[in-house]
Amino acid sequence: MSANQQKKSLAQAKARAKAKKRKLQREHEWPRSEPAYRDVEPVVYAVNDSTNDVKFLGPAPGVEKMSAVLLEFIEPFQSATPTDDEVFYLARLGALAWNVALFSDELRPKEIDRIVRHLTVAEVDLFYKMIDRKLIRFRDNHRSIVKVDMGERPEGCTLLVSSTFESWDDALEHLSS
């Protein structure tokens, strides 16, 4: 096979792969709004030493859903029609940046250095932008993000976020009301 034929064959393979990726993205576009998930109230669970020892404590009315907060947080970094995979990727990176931003000014640089060693150049830039956004736009929210996952619902995928309360006093107050 000549060099020109190899180049042509490689270009065709790349074009097919790109077309397949675009098709998958069109088929799995993230819905711009999630009609049902905002209507579900946050709930409180207690987790002891073992992950098998989880106890449902009840609903947490009046507590802002952390999934809604995280979606708002990552929204400027999404493409015009984000896929489920893009939203999940940004949510995980956003949760990491969010939690790092919660560290004190003295500890934050050390934690950032530990993390950026494992990121690509593009991810490092995005990570710093997310930290800045958290420190400026969401500075009054001190809840830590514990887990980010995607769940299936009849109307499509939804972001599932587990987080802490700002303090145990807040948690107890919501449980007793």
Q: Where are the alpha helices (DSSP H) in the chain?
A: 3-27, 66-74, 84-101, 108-116, 121-137, 168-176
| pLDDT for the residue 168 | 52
The C-alpha R_g of the chain, in whole angstroms, comes to: 20
Among left, alpha and beta (phi > 0; psi -120 to 50; other), residue 40 is beta
| Helices 84-101 + 108-116 axis angle, to 10 | 150
pLDDT of residue 175: 54
- pLDDT value, residue 81: 77
Cα(143)–Cα(123) distance, rounded to whole angstroms? 23
Residue 89 pLDDT: 93
Q: How far apart are the first and last CA of the chain?
A: 76
What is the tens place of the pLDDT at every residue in 8-54?
677 777 777 776 666 665 555 544 444 444 555 666 665 555 556 65
| Low-confidence stretches of the chain (pLDDT beneath 50) | 30-37
How much is the pLDDT for 155? 74
pLDDT of 32 reads: 42
pTM over 0.75: no
Q: What is the pLDDT of residue 107?
A: 94
pLDDT value of position 37? 46
The pLDDT value recorded for residue 130 is 97
Q: Are 94 and 73 in contact (CB under 8 A)?
A: yes
